[in-house]
Structure 1
Amino acid sequence: MNTELHSLEFRPSEGLGYQRSCQDNRSYSEPTMGVDQLESTLQNSERDVVELQAALDAYVVQEEAVRFELERLAVSCAALYKKVSSLEDLMQNVELSQERIAKLEMENAELKLQTIAPEQLDEISSAVDEIKATATQCEELAAAEKRCLKEQLMLAEERRTLLQAHLDELNSRGWIFGLGSFVLFFTLLWLVR
Protein backbone atom coordinates (compact mmCIF):
# COMPACT_ATOMS: atom_id res chain seq x y z
CA MET A 1 0.00 0.00 0.00
CA ASN A 2 1.47 3.29 -1.08
CA THR A 3 0.81 6.16 1.26
CA GLU A 4 0.63 9.58 -0.29
CA LEU A 5 1.60 12.29 2.12
CA HIS A 6 0.49 15.84 1.44
CA SER A 7 2.04 18.83 3.11
CA LEU A 8 -0.48 21.06 4.85
CA GLU A 9 -0.13 24.74 5.35
CA PHE A 10 -2.11 26.54 8.01
CA ARG A 11 -2.92 30.24 7.76
CA PRO A 12 -4.82 31.51 10.77
CA SER A 13 -7.38 34.19 10.04
CA GLU A 14 -6.54 37.70 10.93
CA GLY A 15 -8.40 38.09 14.20
CA LEU A 16 -6.63 39.05 17.44
CA GLY A 17 -6.90 42.78 16.70
CA TYR A 18 -7.05 43.81 20.35
CA GLN A 19 -4.83 46.06 22.48
CA ARG A 20 -3.71 45.40 26.00
CA SER A 21 -5.09 47.96 28.42
CA CYS A 22 -1.86 48.03 30.39
CA GLN A 23 0.22 49.34 27.50
CA ASP A 24 -0.69 53.00 28.15
CA ASN A 25 -0.73 52.68 31.98
CA ARG A 26 -4.53 52.59 32.10
CA SER A 27 -6.33 50.40 34.63
CA TYR A 28 -7.71 46.99 33.64
CA SER A 29 -11.22 48.17 34.37
CA GLU A 30 -11.05 50.76 31.57
CA PRO A 31 -12.56 49.29 28.37
CA THR A 32 -10.19 49.17 25.39
CA MET A 33 -12.71 48.09 22.75
CA GLY A 34 -16.43 48.09 22.16
CA VAL A 35 -18.68 45.08 22.67
CA ASP A 36 -19.03 44.51 18.94
CA GLN A 37 -15.29 44.64 18.45
CA LEU A 38 -14.77 42.28 21.39
CA GLU A 39 -17.32 39.80 19.99
CA SER A 40 -15.69 39.98 16.57
CA THR A 41 -12.28 39.38 18.10
CA LEU A 42 -13.61 36.42 20.08
CA GLN A 43 -15.21 34.93 16.97
CA ASN A 44 -11.98 35.34 15.00
CA SER A 45 -10.00 33.79 17.83
CA GLU A 46 -12.39 30.86 18.09
CA ARG A 47 -12.16 30.35 14.34
CA ASP A 48 -8.38 30.43 14.62
CA VAL A 49 -8.49 27.79 17.33
CA VAL A 50 -10.78 25.55 15.23
CA GLU A 51 -8.58 25.89 12.13
CA LEU A 52 -5.45 25.34 14.19
CA GLN A 53 -6.91 22.22 15.78
CA ALA A 54 -7.97 20.88 12.38
CA ALA A 55 -4.46 21.40 11.01
CA LEU A 56 -2.96 19.75 14.09
CA ASP A 57 -5.28 16.75 13.68
CA ALA A 58 -4.25 16.47 10.02
CA TYR A 59 -0.59 16.43 11.01
CA VAL A 60 -1.30 13.71 13.56
CA VAL A 61 -2.90 11.61 10.81
CA GLN A 62 0.13 12.20 8.58
CA GLU A 63 2.48 11.23 11.38
CA GLU A 64 0.62 7.96 11.96
CA ALA A 65 0.74 7.21 8.22
CA VAL A 66 4.48 7.88 8.10
CA ARG A 67 5.10 5.66 11.12
CA PHE A 68 3.07 2.87 9.50
CA GLU A 69 5.09 3.21 6.28
CA LEU A 70 8.35 3.13 8.24
CA GLU A 71 7.29 -0.07 10.00
CA ARG A 72 6.32 -1.63 6.66
CA LEU A 73 9.67 -0.66 5.14
CA ALA A 74 11.50 -2.10 8.14
CA VAL A 75 9.77 -5.44 7.54
CA SER A 76 10.58 -5.26 3.81
CA CYS A 77 14.23 -4.48 4.52
CA ALA A 78 14.47 -7.43 6.92
CA ALA A 79 12.99 -9.72 4.25
CA LEU A 80 15.44 -8.38 1.64
CA TYR A 81 18.39 -8.93 3.98
CA LYS A 82 17.20 -12.51 4.50
CA LYS A 83 16.95 -13.08 0.74
CA VAL A 84 20.45 -11.69 0.21
CA SER A 85 21.76 -14.04 2.90
CA SER A 86 20.01 -16.99 1.23
CA LEU A 87 21.52 -16.03 -2.13
CA GLU A 88 24.97 -15.88 -0.59
CA ASP A 89 24.43 -19.41 0.74
CA LEU A 90 23.31 -20.48 -2.73
CA MET A 91 26.43 -18.98 -4.31
CA GLN A 92 28.55 -20.88 -1.81
CA ASN A 93 26.78 -24.06 -2.88
CA VAL A 94 27.54 -23.15 -6.49
CA GLU A 95 31.21 -22.83 -5.60
CA LEU A 96 31.07 -26.27 -4.01
CA SER A 97 29.43 -27.56 -7.18
CA GLN A 98 32.28 -26.10 -9.23
CA GLU A 99 34.75 -27.93 -7.01
CA ARG A 100 32.78 -31.10 -7.61
CA ILE A 101 32.89 -30.43 -11.35
CA ALA A 102 36.66 -30.06 -11.25
CA LYS A 103 36.90 -33.32 -9.35
CA LEU A 104 34.66 -35.09 -11.86
CA GLU A 105 36.73 -33.74 -14.73
CA MET A 106 39.84 -35.14 -13.13
CA GLU A 107 38.13 -38.49 -12.65
CA ASN A 108 36.96 -38.36 -16.26
CA ALA A 109 40.49 -37.73 -17.44
CA GLU A 110 41.74 -40.66 -15.37
CA LEU A 111 39.00 -42.91 -16.73
CA LYS A 112 39.93 -41.99 -20.28
CA LEU A 113 43.37 -43.36 -19.60
CA GLN A 114 41.84 -46.69 -18.60
CA THR A 115 40.47 -49.26 -20.96
CA ILE A 116 36.70 -48.74 -20.81
CA ALA A 117 33.94 -48.78 -23.34
CA PRO A 118 33.44 -45.57 -25.39
CA GLU A 119 29.75 -45.54 -24.38
CA GLN A 120 30.70 -45.16 -20.72
CA LEU A 121 33.08 -42.34 -21.55
CA ASP A 122 30.32 -40.52 -23.44
CA GLU A 123 27.91 -40.92 -20.51
CA ILE A 124 30.48 -39.57 -18.08
CA SER A 125 31.31 -36.64 -20.34
CA SER A 126 27.60 -35.84 -20.82
CA ALA A 127 27.00 -35.94 -17.06
CA VAL A 128 29.94 -33.62 -16.41
CA ASP A 129 28.78 -31.17 -19.08
CA GLU A 130 25.23 -31.18 -17.69
CA ILE A 131 26.43 -30.51 -14.15
CA LYS A 132 28.70 -27.74 -15.40
CA ALA A 133 25.90 -26.07 -17.38
CA THR A 134 23.52 -26.28 -14.41
CA ALA A 135 26.08 -24.80 -12.05
CA THR A 136 26.84 -21.94 -14.45
CA GLN A 137 23.15 -21.18 -14.87
CA CYS A 138 22.59 -21.21 -11.10
CA GLU A 139 25.52 -18.88 -10.58
CA GLU A 140 24.25 -16.40 -13.18
CA LEU A 141 20.72 -16.44 -11.76
CA ALA A 142 21.97 -16.03 -8.21
CA ALA A 143 24.19 -13.10 -9.17
CA ALA A 144 21.37 -11.36 -11.05
CA GLU A 145 18.91 -11.92 -8.20
CA LYS A 146 21.43 -10.62 -5.68
CA ARG A 147 21.98 -7.44 -7.71
CA CYS A 148 18.22 -6.90 -7.97
CA LEU A 149 17.70 -7.42 -4.25
CA LYS A 150 20.51 -5.06 -3.35
CA GLU A 151 18.99 -2.37 -5.59
CA GLN A 152 15.59 -2.87 -3.93
CA LEU A 153 17.22 -2.73 -0.52
CA MET A 154 19.03 0.50 -1.38
CA LEU A 155 15.78 2.09 -2.61
CA ALA A 156 13.98 0.96 0.54
CA GLU A 157 16.71 2.44 2.73
CA GLU A 158 16.53 5.74 0.84
CA ARG A 159 12.73 5.85 1.20
CA ARG A 160 13.00 5.07 4.90
CA THR A 161 15.48 7.93 5.33
CA LEU A 162 13.15 10.35 3.52
CA LEU A 163 10.16 9.23 5.57
CA GLN A 164 12.11 9.62 8.80
CA ALA A 165 13.03 13.18 7.80
CA HIS A 166 9.38 13.89 6.98
CA LEU A 167 8.34 12.46 10.34
CA ASP A 168 10.81 14.71 12.13
CA GLU A 169 9.38 17.69 10.24
CA LEU A 170 5.83 16.70 11.21
CA ASN A 171 6.86 16.39 14.85
CA SER A 172 8.41 19.86 14.72
CA ARG A 173 5.33 21.41 13.10
CA GLY A 174 3.02 19.59 15.50
CA TRP A 175 4.89 21.12 18.43
CA ILE A 176 4.46 24.60 16.90
CA PHE A 177 0.73 24.08 16.35
CA GLY A 178 0.34 22.76 19.87
CA LEU A 179 2.01 25.87 21.25
CA GLY A 180 -0.21 28.06 19.05
CA SER A 181 -3.34 26.34 20.40
CA PHE A 182 -2.10 26.89 23.95
CA VAL A 183 -1.51 30.61 23.32
CA LEU A 184 -4.89 31.12 21.65
CA PHE A 185 -6.65 29.30 24.48
CA PHE A 186 -5.21 31.62 27.11
CA THR A 187 -5.88 34.59 24.84
CA LEU A 188 -9.56 33.67 24.81
CA LEU A 189 -9.53 33.36 28.59
CA TRP A 190 -7.96 36.82 28.86
CA LEU A 191 -10.53 38.33 26.48
CA VAL A 192 -13.57 36.94 28.26
CA ARG A 193 -12.19 37.89 31.69
Structure 2
Amino acid sequence: MAVLSHAMDIGALTTFLWGMEEREKLMEFYQRASGARFHAAYIRPGGVSLDLPHGLLSDIFQRATQFSGRVDEIEEVFTSNRIWKGRTRPNATSERGSMGFKEGGAVEFDIPVGKNGDSYDRYMCRVQEMRESLKIIHQCLDKMPSGVIKIDDHKLVPPPRASMKENMEALIHHFKVHSLCITQLHQY
Protein backbone atom coordinates (compact mmCIF):
# COMPACT_ATOMS: atom_id res chain seq x y z
CA MET A 1 0.00 0.00 0.00
CA ALA A 2 2.92 2.38 0.60
CA VAL A 3 4.04 2.27 -3.03
CA LEU A 4 0.51 2.56 -4.36
CA SER A 5 -0.47 5.39 -2.01
CA HIS A 6 2.66 7.21 -3.15
CA ALA A 7 1.63 6.56 -6.76
CA MET A 8 -1.83 7.98 -6.09
CA ASP A 9 -0.29 11.12 -4.58
CA ILE A 10 1.74 11.55 -7.76
CA GLY A 11 -1.27 11.00 -10.01
CA ALA A 12 -1.58 7.27 -10.75
CA LEU A 13 -4.97 6.42 -9.24
CA THR A 14 -5.53 3.07 -10.99
CA THR A 15 -2.64 1.34 -9.30
CA PHE A 16 -3.89 2.46 -5.88
CA LEU A 17 -7.18 0.70 -6.64
CA TRP A 18 -5.19 -2.43 -7.53
CA GLY A 19 -3.65 -2.19 -4.08
CA MET A 20 -7.04 -1.89 -2.40
CA GLU A 21 -8.17 -5.01 -4.25
CA GLU A 22 -5.12 -6.91 -2.98
CA ARG A 23 -5.64 -5.54 0.55
CA GLU A 24 -9.21 -6.87 0.55
CA LYS A 25 -7.91 -10.33 -0.30
CA LEU A 26 -5.49 -10.15 2.65
CA MET A 27 -8.26 -8.97 4.97
CA GLU A 28 -10.33 -11.99 3.94
CA PHE A 29 -7.56 -14.27 5.24
CA TYR A 30 -7.44 -12.30 8.49
CA GLN A 31 -11.20 -12.62 8.87
CA ARG A 32 -11.16 -16.35 8.16
CA ALA A 33 -8.48 -16.89 10.82
CA SER A 34 -9.87 -14.63 13.54
CA GLY A 35 -13.53 -14.05 12.74
CA ALA A 36 -13.11 -10.26 12.45
CA ARG A 37 -11.65 -7.91 9.86
CA PHE A 38 -10.23 -5.35 12.27
CA HIS A 39 -9.17 -5.46 15.92
CA ALA A 40 -9.60 -9.19 16.27
CA ALA A 41 -8.67 -10.71 19.62
CA TYR A 42 -6.93 -13.59 17.87
CA ILE A 43 -3.55 -13.50 19.60
CA ARG A 44 -3.94 -14.34 23.26
CA PRO A 45 -1.59 -14.84 26.18
CA GLY A 46 0.17 -18.13 25.56
CA GLY A 47 -1.01 -18.66 21.99
CA VAL A 48 -3.95 -17.90 19.75
CA SER A 49 -7.69 -18.18 20.36
CA LEU A 50 -8.50 -20.67 17.60
CA ASP A 51 -6.70 -23.03 15.29
CA LEU A 52 -6.53 -21.94 11.66
CA PRO A 53 -9.51 -23.03 9.54
CA HIS A 54 -8.99 -26.00 7.26
CA GLY A 55 -7.60 -24.93 3.90
CA LEU A 56 -6.46 -21.45 4.96
CA LEU A 57 -2.73 -22.14 4.69
CA SER A 58 -3.09 -23.55 1.18
CA ASP A 59 -5.19 -20.53 0.18
CA ILE A 60 -2.53 -18.17 1.58
CA PHE A 61 0.16 -20.09 -0.31
CA GLN A 62 -1.84 -19.86 -3.53
CA ARG A 63 -2.50 -16.12 -3.04
CA ALA A 64 1.16 -15.41 -2.25
CA THR A 65 2.14 -17.25 -5.42
CA GLN A 66 -0.37 -15.25 -7.49
CA PHE A 67 0.63 -11.97 -5.85
CA SER A 68 4.12 -12.13 -7.32
CA GLY A 69 2.45 -11.55 -10.71
CA ARG A 70 0.77 -8.43 -9.32
CA VAL A 71 4.14 -7.16 -8.06
CA ASP A 72 5.48 -7.72 -11.59
CA GLU A 73 2.60 -5.64 -13.00
CA ILE A 74 3.21 -2.82 -10.52
CA GLU A 75 6.91 -2.82 -11.27
CA GLU A 76 6.25 -2.88 -15.03
CA VAL A 77 3.94 0.13 -14.76
CA PHE A 78 6.36 2.28 -12.76
CA THR A 79 9.97 1.20 -13.09
CA SER A 80 10.60 2.37 -16.65
CA ASN A 81 7.86 5.02 -16.74
CA ARG A 82 9.50 8.37 -17.54
CA ILE A 83 6.74 10.37 -15.79
CA TRP A 84 7.18 8.30 -12.60
CA LYS A 85 10.94 8.71 -12.77
CA GLY A 86 10.60 12.42 -13.41
CA ARG A 87 8.42 12.87 -10.34
CA THR A 88 10.43 10.67 -8.00
CA ARG A 89 14.07 10.60 -9.04
CA PRO A 90 15.51 14.09 -8.78
CA ASN A 91 14.56 14.57 -5.15
CA ALA A 92 17.61 14.40 -2.91
CA THR A 93 16.51 12.82 0.36
CA SER A 94 18.25 10.70 2.94
CA GLU A 95 18.97 7.07 2.15
CA ARG A 96 17.07 4.40 4.01
CA GLY A 97 19.28 2.07 6.03
CA SER A 98 18.69 -1.38 7.39
CA MET A 99 16.69 -1.48 10.61
CA GLY A 100 18.23 -4.54 12.26
CA PHE A 101 15.26 -6.90 11.92
CA LYS A 102 17.46 -9.77 10.80
CA GLU A 103 18.59 -10.85 14.28
CA GLY A 104 16.08 -13.68 14.71
CA GLY A 105 17.44 -15.91 11.96
CA ALA A 106 14.19 -17.88 11.71
CA VAL A 107 13.67 -16.81 8.11
CA GLU A 108 16.05 -15.68 5.41
CA PHE A 109 15.50 -12.36 3.67
CA ASP A 110 17.44 -9.44 2.27
CA ILE A 111 16.99 -5.84 3.37
CA PRO A 112 16.60 -3.64 0.28
CA VAL A 113 18.72 -0.50 0.36
CA GLY A 114 18.80 2.08 -2.43
CA LYS A 115 21.79 3.74 -4.03
CA ASN A 116 20.73 7.37 -4.49
CA GLY A 117 18.28 7.95 -1.64
CA ASP A 118 15.69 9.68 -3.81
CA SER A 119 11.98 8.94 -4.15
CA TYR A 120 12.59 6.53 -7.02
CA ASP A 121 14.99 4.57 -4.83
CA ARG A 122 12.36 4.41 -2.11
CA TYR A 123 9.88 3.09 -4.65
CA MET A 124 12.36 0.43 -5.80
CA CYS A 125 12.96 -0.52 -2.14
CA ARG A 126 9.20 -0.95 -1.60
CA VAL A 127 8.97 -3.24 -4.65
CA GLN A 128 11.86 -5.33 -3.34
CA GLU A 129 10.27 -5.36 0.14
CA MET A 130 7.11 -6.86 -1.38
CA ARG A 131 9.22 -9.57 -3.00
CA GLU A 132 11.08 -10.21 0.26
CA SER A 133 7.75 -10.34 2.13
CA LEU A 134 6.56 -13.04 -0.25
CA LYS A 135 9.74 -15.01 0.47
CA ILE A 136 9.08 -14.68 4.21
CA ILE A 137 5.45 -15.81 3.79
CA HIS A 138 6.53 -18.91 1.86
CA GLN A 139 9.19 -19.75 4.47
CA CYS A 140 6.71 -19.30 7.33
CA LEU A 141 4.13 -21.51 5.61
CA ASP A 142 6.78 -24.20 5.15
CA LYS A 143 7.97 -23.98 8.77
CA MET A 144 4.58 -23.61 10.52
CA PRO A 145 4.23 -26.46 13.00
CA SER A 146 1.04 -28.38 13.51
CA GLY A 147 -0.33 -29.24 16.90
CA VAL A 148 -1.14 -27.32 20.05
CA ILE A 149 -2.20 -23.69 19.59
CA LYS A 150 -2.00 -22.69 23.28
CA ILE A 151 0.08 -23.67 26.26
CA ASP A 152 -1.75 -25.72 28.88
CA ASP A 153 -1.14 -23.46 31.89
CA HIS A 154 -4.40 -21.96 33.15
CA LYS A 155 -2.47 -19.52 35.30
CA LEU A 156 -1.35 -17.79 32.09
CA VAL A 157 -3.97 -18.83 29.51
CA PRO A 158 -7.71 -18.66 30.04
CA PRO A 159 -9.31 -22.07 30.60
CA PRO A 160 -11.86 -23.45 28.15
CA ARG A 161 -15.29 -21.80 28.44
CA ALA A 162 -17.01 -25.06 29.28
CA SER A 163 -14.80 -25.60 32.32
CA MET A 164 -15.57 -22.10 33.62
CA LYS A 165 -19.24 -23.03 33.92
CA GLU A 166 -18.45 -26.11 35.99
CA ASN A 167 -15.33 -25.22 37.94
CA MET A 168 -14.97 -22.19 40.22
CA GLU A 169 -11.15 -22.33 40.08
CA ALA A 170 -11.26 -22.11 36.28
CA LEU A 171 -13.54 -19.07 36.52
CA ILE A 172 -11.16 -17.40 38.99
CA HIS A 173 -8.18 -18.05 36.71
CA HIS A 174 -10.11 -16.59 33.77
CA PHE A 175 -10.82 -13.46 35.80
CA LYS A 176 -7.20 -13.09 36.89
CA VAL A 177 -5.76 -13.58 33.41
CA HIS A 178 -8.08 -11.02 31.81
CA SER A 179 -8.55 -8.53 34.65
CA LEU A 180 -5.36 -8.53 36.65
CA CYS A 181 -2.91 -9.29 33.81
CA ILE A 182 -0.79 -11.48 36.05
CA THR A 183 2.44 -12.67 34.50
CA GLN A 184 5.06 -15.06 35.75
CA LEU A 185 7.15 -12.08 36.82
CA HIS A 186 4.56 -10.74 39.25
CA GLN A 187 3.15 -12.33 42.35
CA TYR A 188 -0.36 -11.87 43.66
- Alignment TM class, shorter chain as reference: 0.3 to 0.5
Task: Output the TM-score relative to the length of structure 2.
Answer: 0.32
Question: Which of the two has greater helix per residue?
Answer: 1
Question: Which protein has the larger Cα radius of gyration, Structure 1 or Structure 2?
Answer: 1
Q: Which has the higher contact order (CA 8 A, sep 6+)?
A: 1
